[in-house]
Amino acid sequence: MNDPIRVAVTGAAGNIGYALIFRIANGDLFGPEQPVILQLLEIPPAMGALEGVAMELDDCAFPLLAQTILTDQPDVAFDRASWSLLVGARPRTAGMERKDLLSANGPIFVTQGRAINANAAPDARIVVVGNPANTNCLIAMNNAPDVPPGRFTAMTRLDYNRARTMLAHKAGRPLTAVTNVTIWGNHSATQYPDAFHAQIDAQPAAPVIGDDNWIKETFVPTVQQRGAAVIAARGASSAASAANACINHVQTWYAGTSAGDWASMGIPSTGAYGTPAGVIFSYPLTIGDGDYSVVDGLDLSEFDRSAIAATAQELLEERDAVADWLV
Ligand code: NAX
């Protein structure tokens, strides 16, 4: 057996946390030979609930779970962590505007960025799930000057999974036939889920589907609004699918993308495709050996360009709203 990998999860007693940590303990991130130590962070009022979750982890008798650490101290949670999954965030409450949500999350991600900087393992990799994910990630990254910025990512994998499934259903093909899906930009309703560079059975997806109007008028807004649709139907936000997406995000970063395919994560913007500097932007990425690079050479249409510009504009506005938390 290998040495255990330390995985920190924040907001571990929340809805996504409850769907996430059992899968990590089961070995879903790194495979059946790799033990893990779970380092679970909560705020003091949720520590009782977290203890209950830890009892259930014990009761599962997971062979790969070497240790479970429960804490309300970020310095303890991120101690030697190789993977930090930042799920906990201030929820949006009634009457709260997006701007208020952004600034309510500022102090959380300043504190966690600093604690990662001071305590995490040299190979630290960070995935921000808590919303607004891209901008929370930007804040944490800014407050962790000793961690290479490229280790900070925001999760757009749920959007990617939603887009991939929708294309498979529309084409009447199995999910595995759909590749090269991209989410551009922000994890928000301005994101651009890109079917025009996707493939179905290794062919460009748009001609296979044969209905560009459906892509533009139905596919794009449905993926953009899917989170709200789940809330409307379930009375609660996506939890199991968000946890699954977080697992997929780490799996792909850890194991790499398949030849010819790519995935999407929010990363520090590179300027590729005219995107602005200084934000966390989701791109098509090839990944191998823990490193990633933006897929280059994609031919963007006017439609693609204007959708990418819209989500970039929102990210710039979010960045301006949290300027106080950036160093
Ligand atoms: P819950 O409210 O069920 O759980 C959040 C947990 O975080 C709570 O237990 C709370 O006590 C904890 N928490 C709050 N502040 C904390 C802090 N400073 N340190 C540690 N823990 C803290 O929310 P849940 O449904 O689990 O969603 C978590 C976050 O994921 C939300 O911000 C949500 O908006 C976001 N989502 C992101 C998605 C994505 O695709 N990136 C999709 C799903 C989800 O909406």
pLDDT score of 97: 78
pLDDT score of 159: 98
187 a catalytic residue: yes
pLDDT score of 99: 80
Find the 34 Cα to ligand 1 centroid distance in Å.
27
Alpha-carbon span 8 to 19, nearest angstrom = 15
Residues of the chain with pLDDT under 70: none
pLDDT score of 207: 98
Nearest residue to 227 via CA among 128, 97, 131: 131
Give me the residue spans of the domains in the chain.
5-154, 157-321
Cβ < 6 A, ligand 1 pocket: 10-11, 13-17, 41-43, 46, 87-89, 91, 108, 129-131, 133, 155, 158, 187, 227, 237-239, 242
The strand pair at 280-288 and 263-268 is best described as antiparallel
Count the alpha carbons within 13 Å of 163 in the hemisphere toward its beta carbon.
Answer: 31
Q: Which two tokens stand for residue 52?
A: 């209950």
Q: Would you say 72 and 47 are in contact if contact means Cβ atoms under 8 Å apart?
A: yes
Residues 169, 187, 197, 249: which is the catalytic one?
A: 187
Alpha-carbon span 51 to 56, nearest angstrom = 9
Q: Would you say 191 and 185 are in contact if contact means Cβ atoms under 8 Å apart?
A: yes
Q: Which residue shows structure tokens 């907001």?
A: 11
Does the reported pTM lie above 0.95? yes
pLDDT score of 57: 98
Alpha-carbon span 265 to 249, nearest angstrom = 8
Q: Which CATH class is domain 5-154?
A: alpha beta
Beta pairing partners, 126: 84, 152
Alpha-carbon span 205 to 132, nearest angstrom = 30
Domains 5-154 and 157-321 alike in fold: no
pLDDT score of 302: 98
pLDDT score of 21: 98
Q: Which CATH class is domain 157-321?
A: alpha beta
Nearest residue to 197 via CA among 180, 212, 185, 184: 180
pLDDT score of 300: 98
pLDDT score of 230: 94
